[in-house]
Amino acid sequence: MRQILVQAGAAAPAVYELPDPAVLDGQVMIRNRASLISPGTERSSVQLHTSSLLAKARQRPDQVRLVLNKLRTEGISSTVRKVRSRLAEPFVPGYSCAGTITRVGPRVTEFKAGDRVAAAGYGYASHAELVCVPINLTVKIPTEVTFAEAAFGTMGAIALHGVRVTSPSLGETVVVVGLGILGQLTAQILRSAGMQVIAVEPSTFRRDLAGQSGISDTTEPGEQARRLVLDRTGHHGADAIIITAASRAEDLIAETAELARDRGIITVVGDIPLNLPRQVFYQKELQVRLSRSYGPGRYDREYEEKGRDYPYPYVRWTQKRNIAAFLGLIARKQVSVEHLITDHRDVSRAEQAYALLEGPDRDRHLGVVFDYPETDNPPVTTIHLKSKAAKLSADGTFGVGFVGFGQFAGGVLLPAFQSINNLRYTGVATRKGVSAKSAAAKGGFAYATTDYTRVINDPQTDIVVIATTSDLHADLACAALAANKAVFLEKPLALDQPGLTRVVEAVRKHGGMLQVGFNRRYSPALTEIKRVLTPRRTPLAIDYRVCVSRAPAPQQHWLGDPERSGGLLIGEVCHFIDAAIFLTDAHPRTVYARPLGTDAGDDAVAVFMEMADGSVVNIRYLTGAAPGTPKEYVDIVGGGITAYVNDFRLYGWAGNGRPQKRRGTQNKGHVEQLKAFTCSLRQKGMAAGDLIAAVYATEATFAAQESMRSGGPVAVIVDF
């Protein structure tokens, strides 16, 4: 399929051939017929992604701070590698489209193939021939509405939500500042609801467009606007003002406030600086309201991705219902968008379309719609990047394929694999074509696919690397083992007992090699400290302190969603449990855990383990540390030795001769683990010790969860 992308360093957006996307639970696949450029939002996004590194830094100081923090904790080489990997990812423009459903995912009953629908959402309703969109971001199109008109659905919902946030009453006077697409639609919605509308816009062309919609009171900003508002309101001022403009002007909101009456309302929909001048806001006792996108449900992963609707009696206007309401306004001729379409472009002419937004007449190119021809092309889920076929494993190399390729896979796992000789890269599978092709190009893979079975069943793939969201780990590992592949599975091993049982049974049945990404046991710090501790006859006392920022909220990242990540206890603390198993050479016998967080969003936890050899382990996963605190600090005492590890950059010990100290760049053992894994494959037999330890570590996290529920210690029982 064809899709418009902005590649890092490219001069402009362009069209690329990508694999068709994979439709997931709760999604529908749509063959687009029209998609709308959001001029202000997309122009600024494209400018950011095509700008220099210095320009990006100036526009995103928050990201610069994150990079500086990584430099302090991880060192230069690791940080540079991760930043380059992130910057190399293409930007996917577009968030409003319309077309026909070709397939529905599992558990979708609201839609069927052939339905005409409008869709919304960044990363979903993109400028592409095929898109997969969750059901709560998808709305059926009334028969009276064309595809091109329906492509305005998202913009219309944003405008409609801004009006709802403002909540004007019938007959009131509302000023709309800015007559881009949002302003044009906002003015029409207000007029259809019985408001007196005054529109403020410097462009004569855009004021004339508003006039075609029946908005007769339009004016330039400044004194002319102030006089018109006073004249139309009996010198009281406007009841409400909705700012839909996108501007960097520092004084825009101050000028706007002059148009409002005492105790009036100012709603900000557009992107403007919020430098509120106290005097005018205090004297008039003005209210300022911010409108967040297109309605309740926005940025809520439960609503947008999982399709969990809000109860109709309690949340009347969600973002989906706002889109449907706006399309209804078009169908009833209460709002018109046809005259706002200033340009039609075939999707193949992306560069020309975006050039219109940068030219001297950009104010005249308001509604730019991409058209997609109606086709019945067969699905294409795999594209090849290399014309020459990969060599067979008989040549002494191993073929490596990835299933899943997020930031960790691209920034850590792939570079670690690339440091190992005699590996070749067969294929990479992700659910979106853009990420699959980007990953394939970045890693030198032979092909990109959105069908994970293509990688797992590829006869030229010897090692399957599973780096998906955690909820898929167990089933994908079982599938790869059944295909007689060696499996490198990023942690955790499984999210629940049934999943863990399936993996263990698959290993028993197929006898394959399975390595879990518990890399800290391979770090130079822990391996050298364990060597110093060996032999010993007394138990160890281990204190493992982990200090992190609070977990990302569910609407921000999948790691904050326990259903996909298992939560930070299963998804992260498993690392530190495995490190303790490695140091003690013993399995957890009992686990006691209690939450330390102050609210539902705080994952701080304390875990205490008694090991089979009598050792005790205290793991504290904390979220309230001061900035600059080492993320991981380990104290080990026993056998006459006192040792420590400070963030895997500094470590040392005392009690066995002269005290020793080691310092270097941060090394958590990723490369060392993969070298050991590939070496064991060449020797045709990997020790089962690591896998047994991984099973124990996983069982210990389940026991910790049960302990937090029950309030008491829980025994760890493993039948391997």
pLDDT, one tens digit per residue, over 136-172 is 999 999 999 999 999 999 999 999 999 999 999 999 9
**Amino acid code (one letter) for 271:** D
**287-290 sheet: strands from edge to edge:** 218-219, 196-200, 173-177, 238-243, 260-268, 287-290
SS (H, E, C) 439-486: HHHHHCCCEEECCHHHHHCCCCCCEEEECCCHHHHHHHHHHHHHCCCE
Q: How far apart are CA 720 and CA 711, in angstroms?
A: 27
So what's the pLDDT on residue 90? 86
Radius of gyration in angstroms for the set of CA atoms belonging to the chain, rounded to a whole number? 29
Q: Which two tokens stand for residue 276?
A: 């509120």
Q: Note whether 410 and 423 are within 8 A (CB).
A: no
Residue 404 scores a pLDDT above 50: yes
48 confidence band (pLDDT: 50, 70, 90): low
Contacts of 654 (CB under 8 A, 6+ apart): 641, 642, 643, 660
Residue 441 scores a pLDDT above 70: yes
- Angle between helical axes of 473-482 and 497-510 (0-180°, round to 10): 10
459 confidence band (pLDDT: 50, 70, 90): very high
So what's the pLDDT on residue 66? 61
The CATH superfamily assigned to 392-517 is: NAD(P)-binding Rossmann-like Domain (3.40.50.720)
> Per-residue DSSP letters for 326-346?
HHHHHHTTSS--GGGEEEEEE
pLDDT tens-digit map of 616-633: 999 999 987 887 889 999
- Burial class for 264, CB neighbours closer than 10 Å (0-12, 13-18, 19+): buried
- Angle between helical axes of 181-192 and 204-212 (0-180°, round to 10): 30
- Which of 509-513, 543-547, 590-594 shows the lowest mean pLDDT across its residues? 509-513
So what's the pLDDT on residue 389? 46
Q: How far apart are CA 88 and CA 718, in angstroms?
A: 43
Note the pTM of the prediction, 2 decimals. Answer: 0.87
Where are the CATH 3.90.180.10 domain residues in the chain? 2-152+300-371, 165-290
Q: Which two tokens stand for residue 338?
A: 């046809």
Question: To which residue do tokens 């570079």 refer?
Answer: 415
Average pLDDT over residues 193-213: 96
So what's the pLDDT on residue 545? 96
CA distances (Å), origin 285, targets 165, 266, 288, 524: 18, 11, 10, 63
Q: Provide the CATH topology of domain 2-152+300-371.
A: Quinone Oxidoreductase; Chain A, domain 1 (3.90.180)
Residue 7 scores a pLDDT above 70: yes
Task: Tell me the CATH number of domain 520-715, given options 3.30.360.10, 3.40.50.450, 3.40.1580.10, 3.40.50.300.
Answer: 3.30.360.10
- Which of 356-360, 638-642, 652-656 shows the lowest mean pLDDT across its residues? 356-360
Q: 265 or 397: which carries more pLDDT confidence?
A: 265
Average pLDDT over residues 585-607: 87
51 confidence band (pLDDT: 50, 70, 90): low
Average pLDDT over residues 427-446: 94
Contacts of 634 (CB under 8 A, 6+ apart): 542, 543, 544, 545, 579, 644, 645
Architecture in CATH of 165-290:
Alpha-Beta Complex (3.90)
Q: How far apart are CA 615 and CA 695, in angstroms?
A: 19
- Which of 55-64, 361-370, 578-587 shows the lowest mean pLDDT across its residues? 55-64
Q: How far apart are CA 502 and CA 695, in angstroms?
A: 12
Burial per residue of 507-545, b for 16 or more beta-carbon CB atoms within 10 angstroms, e otherwise: beeeebbbbbbbbbbbbebbebbbebbeebeebbebebb
Where are the CATH 3.30.360.10 domain residues in the chain? 520-715
Average pLDDT over residues 481-492: 95
Where are the CATH 3.40.50.720 domain residues in the chain? 392-517
So what's the pLDDT on residue 60? 58
Burial per residue of 272-286, b for 16 or more beta-carbon CB atoms within 10 angstroms, e otherwise: beeeeeeebbeebeb
